Every structure is written in C-alpha cells, then in structure tokens.
Chains A and B, each alone.
Chain A
Amino acid sequence: MPPDYREIQEGITGYVISGAVIFLLLATLFISFLVLAWQRRKKLQLEKDQMKMHFDQELLRTQLEIQEQTLKTISEEIHDNIGQALSLAKLKLNTLKYDQPDLLVEKINDSRELVSKAIRDLRDLSRSLNTDSIASMGLVRAIELELELFRKSGFQTTLYMEGEIRKMEPQQELILFRIVQESLNNIIKHAEAKTIRVTALYTEDELDLQVEDDGKGAEPAQLDMEGNSYKSLGLRNMSNRAGMIGGTFSINSVPGNGTIIKLNIPFNKN
C-alpha cells in the first residue's frame, strides 16, 4: 500500500472515529443532562406540592378552629346571657299577680326589658364570626368584633390602628386572625389580665400586629425554644402559621408585667 494512500486512509478513519465518538458523547451528555435536570425539577415540584398541601391542611385546621371557637362563643353567650335573660323574663311572667296592678306593670316592664336584651344579644350573636365573614369584612374589623366579645366578658379592650389598611389574601387574613384569636384565648385562660390592647400598624411594606395584656406574664419555661421552634405546642402552632404566610412571630413576657405577642407580615414576600 503506497504511504500517501495509507496516510489518507488513516486520516479519514481517524476523522470518522473521532466524529462518531464526539457526536455519541454529545448525545449521551445531552440525554443525561435532560434526565438529571428533569429529576431535579420534579423533586422541586414535589417539594412545592407538599408545601402547598401542608399549607392547605393548616388552613383547613385554622378554619375548623375558628368555627369551633365561634360555636363555643355562641354556646357561652346563649347560656350566660340570652338564656339567663329569657329564664328571668319567664319567671317574672309566671309570678304575675293580677290583683296587684303596680307590681304587675313593673314585672311586665322588666320582662319586656329582659326580652329586648335577649334580642339585642341574639342580634350581636348573629354577627358572630365565621371564616367567610372574616374574608368579607377584613382582618381589622374581625379583630374589633372579637374584642367586643371580650369587652362583654369584663375586659378593657383597645384596638389601635395606624396606616392605611391593605387587603391581604383571604387565607393570610384568616391565619392572622386565628393567631390573634388564639393569643386572646391564652389571655383568658392563663394571664389573669384586666386590659387587652391590640395594635395594627400598616406600612407600605408590612403589617405589624401586637397583642398586649397586663396579666401575670407567661412562665419562662413556656417560652423555651427547642432549636428554631417553641416547646409549647400553642406557641409553636402560632409561630409556624406566621411562617407559613411569610411572617415572623415573637413573644415577650416578663412575669408580673404582662405579655406582648408580635407578628410581622411583609407584603412583598407574599
């Protein structure tokens, strides 16, 4: 075989082999890259779906808790106020003595007053909160109504608001309301407080919510942290829920000096 022919042959063979190897390698790399990228994207998608599912579950739980709280409030209201007023009115009407006209008029008037009070209480009760009404009336109004119920129970309540109210997503307002409601319930159960103050500060970028009482303060053990979360289940729930909507939760309490619960919700993160 002449040397020049052999050179040509080996040169072309080299090109064919190199071309085949390079193209095969590129094709293999392309396929591998696609599979790996797809798997990575799928993993992220799965995580996102799981987070969404967790959020939906938590939202459902929040709605159920609000409904439960509403039923409890209605039941207490019926038992403590409306039921009492109507029983008393019935008692007065049962003991009417027609031979004593002055007493008769007085008892009828008293009964009328009691029935009117029962009607008023019922009307108030009909405005009791449910998850839909929170969405329709907005967070601040919902907190205001909740504080009215507390005022009836003997607490001194104040709602202080600053800035222009910004409408948030209904799910966010629901979760925020539930955190405030839970904070207020804790005040009733544990704080032995007389006054409650809720502050809502709206700025361009965020909402600062604060629930403050003048009670005995929380036990230091209740505020202990385990890693990034609270040991107390109630506080952990509130903190997790704030985190779910992109916010932060903190609690400051000094024994004998009341408790302050702070929530910060940035608007742009939502």
Chain B
Amino acid sequence: MANYVRIIVIDKHMFPLPPFYYFEIAALVAAFFVLTKNASRPLKWFRYFLLLIILVELFARYKRKILHEPNVWIYNLSIPLEYLFYAFIFYHSVKDMKIRKIGFFFLICYPLFVCINLLFIQGMSVFNSHSMLIGSLSMMVLSGLMLYDLFIRENQVNIVLEPLFWIASGVLLFNAGEFGYYLFSNYLINDGIDKAATFFSQLNSKLIFVLYSCIVIGFVCHRITEKYKKG
C-alpha cells in the first residue's frame, strides 16, 4: 500500500502521458485517416468512441493528478460504456440470429445490472468490480461469438482481412487478460496488495497496446479490402 501511494504522489504531473495514451491517440488518428468514406457504420462509430475514450482518460488523469480528486467514478461509468459499445458493434455486425439475440440480451441486461450495482450494491465511490467482472466475461463470450460468426460465414473472402476479426480478437485478448485481475480485484483493492496491482498496471498497459493495435490493424484491413474491391 505504501509503495502504491508513493507512486501516485511522485507522479503528480499531467504530462508526459503514459505510453498507452499514445496507442489510443494513434487509433483515433487511424480512425479518421485510414477509414474510407465507404467504411461500414460500426467502423465509423469508432471515430467518436475513440475520441470519447481519450477525453475520458485525460479527464480522469486531470482529476487525479491536478485536482487530487478521486476518479474511480469516471471509470465506473466509462468502462461499462466501452463494453456496451463493443457489444453494440458485435450486435450490429453479427449475421447469426442466435448470436444476435445473445448480444441483444447483454445490451438490455448489462446496463440494468450496472445501474443496480452503482446505486444499491457497490456505489459510485468504489471501483465496481462486479460490473467489470460481468462485463469482461461477457466481452470474452461476445467477441468469441463474433469470431465464430465470421468463421461460419459462407461468402467470407479472407477472415484475416476482415476488420471485425481484428477488433473482436483485440477485445477477446484484452478481456482475457483483464478478467483474472477483476476476479481478484476485491482482495487487491481492500487489502492493498500492491505487487499484484503493479503487475496488473503493467499488464493493463500491454493489453491496451494489444487492443488498440488490433483496432488499427482492423482499420488498415478495411483500407486494403476497399482498395482490392476498387482494383
């Protein structure tokens, strides 16, 4: 706990930003410059989503570093929003009706659960580990199903050049890595087990790199397939 506090106190400036911010900014730049006007609607939504994520991350950092105020409530709201965005992307893109129903079920039930958890169970000022755990697990399932949906499509030219393959893979890998932490996050936060928290912080930045790299690759794949279609 002491080490954890010390790290926060020493690192009190807004800048320089940790490396994972730059991956997010790179993904945003790619969303604006790599995606063509023919990009499907879900891909175009990434522009606004990534912009929102960066603004939220910067605001959370500002609250913590400059104002020295707790920022956990920002993450309690923004992380479920991220899950809902990815779930909506998958729901919109999936062709199999059964998988679509599962996506729809998540889109209805998860916000309800998050609200109940925020208002009645864990509250706004505590990290909502239950919401994150359920969200992370659901993301693994939904991204796995999205990949399966791409796999069973008859007219798939090349699965590896499909933007959604990369986005779903990124989401799957990211949440597979995060899930272990969320599973024990109650112990980690309550008991101040800094070694695991430090490990998680390192793992998290690597997973963010994986996620946003996959998203950028997905955008590039969209560009390649568009070029191929025109050619």
The tally of residues in A whose CB lies under 8 Å from a CB in B reads: 25
Do the beta carbons of B199 and A23 come within 8 Å of each other? no
A21 to nearest B CB, angstroms? Answer: 8
Number of A-B contacts (CB under 8 A): 79
Contact B195 A13 (CB under 8 A): yes
Asked if B195 and A9 sit within 8 Å, CB to CB, the answer is: yes
Residue on B nearest A10 in the bound complex, by CB: B195
Give complex CA distance A34, B150 in Å: 9
| Contact present for B176 and A23 (CB under 8 Å) | yes
| Closest Cβ–Cβ distance, residue A1 to chain B (whole Å) | 10
Q: Is the CB of A19 within 8 A of B151?
A: no
6-43 of chain A: CB within 8 A of chain B: 8-10, 12-13, 15-20, 22-24, 26-28, 30-31, 34-35, 37-39, 42
CB–CB A16/B147 < 8 A: no
Of the residues A9, A27, A42, contact of B193 by C-beta under 8 Å: A9
Q: Which of the four size classes fits the interface of chain B?
A: 20 to 34
Would A31 and B169 count as touching, CB distance under 8 A? Answer: yes
Alpha-carbon gap, A9 to B140, bound state (A): 27
Contact of A13 among B151, B159, B183, B196 (CB under 8 A): B196
- In the assembly, what is the distance between CA of A218 and CA of B176, in Å? 72
Complex: A96 Cα to B195 Cα, angstroms: 124
Q: A148: shortest Cβ distance to chain B, in Å?
A: 48
Are A8 and B176 in touch, CB under 8 angstroms? no
Given the complex, which residues of A lie within 8 Å of B159, measured CB to CB?
34-35, 38-39
Residues of A within 8 A of B (CB): 8-10, 12-13, 15-20, 22-24, 26-28, 30-31, 34-35, 37-39, 42
Given A10-B195, A13-B193, 4 other A-B residues pairs in contact with their CB atoms under 8 A? A13-B199, A20-B178, A20-B179, A37-B151
Q: List 23 A-B contacts (CB under 8 A).
A: A9-B194, A9-B195, A12-B187, A12-B188, A13-B193, A17-B180, A18-B180, A19-B180, A20-B203, A22-B180, A23-B177, A23-B179, A24-B176, A26-B176, A27-B176, A31-B147, A31-B172, A34-B148, A34-B151, A35-B159, A35-B160, A42-B156, A42-B158
